[in-house]
Amino acid sequence: MIDARGLAIGYRGGPTVLTDVTFSVMPGERVGVLGPNGGGKTTLMRALLGELESRAGTFTIEGRQGTVPQTERSRLDYPVSALDVVLMGALGRGPWWRRPGRAERALAQAALERVGLEDRARETFGELSGGQRQRVLVARALMQDADIVLFDEPFTGLDTPSAARLTALIDALAAEGRSVLVSTHDVGQARAWDHVLCLNGRMIEFGPPEHVLTETVLAETYEHAVIRIPDGWPRGVTQSAGASARA
């Protein structure tokens, strides 16, 4: 569960970049976080992960957090297998000096099976496709047994089948009672989730999609740079410069 009240966040030594954020995410809920590039989506994620401290307001997080960062920022040259990455989710499971053993390996393999990558366990992480890397990171969150899973722009660069598979995984995580927060540029995608949080340096709106995803709110969120795309266009091909969105 996440409960934030009047949150303000900034980077050390820098100005406050996100203000007046008030929202809550209950177990089993999927929340889409919308906003232009630089609008504060990643900043919010980093604050929720404890990387950045709040400058005002309060927030409460109950439960273990897992994160699925943007795979474009992953180190593709890093010498680890998919299984190694999933096993990173076992770090907090035992005493600090204990290395993952056979039981953790079995759990990690099961997590990979859950995301449909059981036959890729020994492949180097950087040699997997973008969608496969996303699923490995989801398996890592499963290995953590995370109650709250934060996705940072997970659909960027994914083709249609990969995006559909990831959407199904997000739905499955929520169905298990996990809170899921997904930052995205895809307004159409966010429409299918339980709540939407719109940010642009401050919170523009938070609530159910039918109340939040109005032309007025989107225009304020994206500073009037909203592109309307006819239904039926391929997903995930609309973004550039952070100022466009499917509406």
Partner 1 sequence: MLDALLEPWREPILRDALLEVVFVGLACGALGVWVVLLGRSYSAESLAHGMFPGLVVAALLGVPLVLGGAVGLIVAALAIAAGARLRSLGSNTAVAVVITSLLGIGTVFALSADSPPGLQNLLFGDVLATSPSDLALAAALAAAALIGSWLAYPYLLTYAFDPSAARSLGARPRVAEAAFALLLTAAVLVGVQALGNLLVVAALIGPAVAARTFTRRVPPLIAAASALGVACGVGGLYLSYYADVAAGAAIAGLLVTTAAIAALAKARLPTSDI
Residue 8 found at the interface with partner 1 (CB under 8 A): no
According to the binding rule CB under 8 A, does residue 11 interact with partner 1?
A: no
Q: Which residue has the tokens 């899921």?
A: 180
Q: In this chain, which stretch among 94-102, 162-170, 177-185, 225-233 interacts with partner 1, using CB under 8 A?
A: 94-102
Is the CB of 74 or the CB of 244 nearer to partner 1?
74
Q: Which amino acid is at 168?
A: A
Q: Is there binding between residue 145 and partner 1 (CB under 8 A)?
A: no
Q: Which residue has the tokens 């770090």?
A: 91
Return the residues of window 104-133 that contact partner 1 according to CB under 8 A: 124
46-85 positions binding partner 1, by CB under 8 A: 46, 49-51, 65-67, 69, 73-75, 78-81, 84-85
Least separation in angstroms between residue 211's CB and partner 1 is 31
Angle 130-143/102-114 helices, nearest 10 degrees? Answer: 130
CB atoms within 10 A of CB 241: 8
Q: Please identify which residue in the block is written with the tokens 């604050």.
A: 47
102 contacts partner 1 (rule: CB under 8 A):
no
For the chain, counts of helices (H) and of strands (E): 8, 9
Residue that has been written with the tokens 């719109």 in this structure: 198
Distance between CA atoms of residues 138 and 85, nearest Å: 10
Give least dist CB 59 to partner 1, A. Answer: 15
Kindly determine how many residues on this chain lie close enough to bind partner 1 according to the rule CB under 8 A: 28
Residue 143: in which H helix or E strand, if any? Answer: helix 130-143
- What is the closest distance, in whole angstroms, from the C-beta atom of residue 140 to partner 1 in the complex? 8
**What's 4's DSSP letter?**
E
Contact residues for partner 1, defined by CB under 8 A:
46, 49-51, 65-67, 69, 73-75, 78-81, 84-85, 87-89, 91-92, 97, 99-100, 124, 140, 144
